[in-house]
Amino acid sequence: IKLRRQSTMGRKDCSVNGTLYGTSFGAEQWLVLNKVAIVCASLNVSTHILVFLSLAINFISYSPMAIIIFEFIYVPCLGFALVSLFMTSITDPGAVPMGAWPLERYMPIEIENQNENSQTRNTRHTIEQCEKCEGNYKPPLARHDKISGRCVVKVDHFCPWVCNVIGVFNRKFFILFAFYTFLSSTTALVLLVMRSIRCSYGAGAWIPIIAWNKFNFDHDIVGCKKPSSFSILATHAVVMCVFFSTFVTLLAQYLAVTKGSRRGTNDSELVKTELNEIFGGSSNRFEWHWLLPLTVEFPDEVMEELLGYQIDYFHRDQHWQQNYFAESFNTS
């Protein structure tokens, strides 16, 4: 494996066996190569795996009902959560490519103003170009992300726990990751409570913080000798933290799912009313593909409206300039 690293204005690349991974304009596979974010995402995955192992080894044995809940509810939710996490991390969030140019209504329009002494020209529309992206065109719905080094359409935030920017094309995966993690943590809490009720003397002994010294498990009941009090406390603490954090995340994302994800503009009103900007498809009503970590697809007729730009195929490797537009327009 041959690695080649380069860094430009926050954009980092890594070449592995001829395939360029990174966030540069020439990267073949999107991947944010930020050390802190990679560590956070690794901790995220490790937490899910450790909770899974703790439940499987210590908390469901000798209970047929717990085994059924674990295998048919917890495991599928955990699987969907990890797949959604993976898709969130490797999916291009909507980075504006080199060669993007404004839609027709955003094009500069020159207006002639005549005075007594001279004739001047004023431009009514100002085209914004991002200096950090080598002067590439910056659509009205895009914002520059300093960690990935790219302008991304409809940026929500950069999440280190998934090691990626959350934008128009991976926000669905991010919401699904939070949703299935919430379901798996809820199921884990149910399993923890079931075992604590089954094995403890006191009904309130399953509450770890209040009952630190009350874990007097009945050693006469099969399967109640383990785990130790510390492992019970640790598992409860982790699961509860994950439960509340994902619950808050889902509340924060609810408005985007139901009301659209526009950022102070009416340019996407048509898109918002005809389809869901988060989950894609051809309808704004719930569809089953919303629950699956499948690639987000939008109808071709609204794709440019959604992104706020079109591709100048005459100058695919150059940033947009007004003279390029005039040349391309005349040739067409």
C-alpha span between 78 and 176 (Å, rounded)? 11
Is 199 annotated as catalytic? no
Dihedral class, residue 158 (left if φ above 0, else alpha if ψ from -120 to 50, else beta): beta
Q: What is the 3-state secondary structure (H, E, C) of the chain?
A: CCCCEEEECCEEEEEECCEEEECCCCCCEECCCCHHHHHHHHHHHHHHHHHHHHHHHHHCCCCHHHHHHHHHHHHHHHHHHHHHHHHHHHCCCCECCCCEEECHHHCCCEEEEECCCCEEEEECCCCCEEHHHCCEECCCCEEEECCCCEEEECCCEEECCCCEEECCCCHHHHHHHHHHHHHHHHHHHHHHHHHHHHHCCCCCCCCCCCCCCCCCCCCCCCCCCCCCHHHHHHHHHHHHHHHHHHHHHHHHHHHHHHHCCCCCCCCCHHHHHHCECCCECCCCCCCHHHHCCCCCCCCHHHHHHHHCEEECHHHCCCCCCHHHHHHHHHHC
Token output for 277: 């900007």
Q: Which of 130, 133, 151, 159 is catalytic?
A: 159
C-alpha span between 89 and 174 (Å, rounded)? 9
- Residue 159: beta bridge partners? 164
Strand 100-102 and strand 29-30: pairing? unpaired
Instruction: State phi, psi for 313 to the nearest 5 degrees.
Output: -75, -15
User: What residues are labeled active site?
Assistant: 159
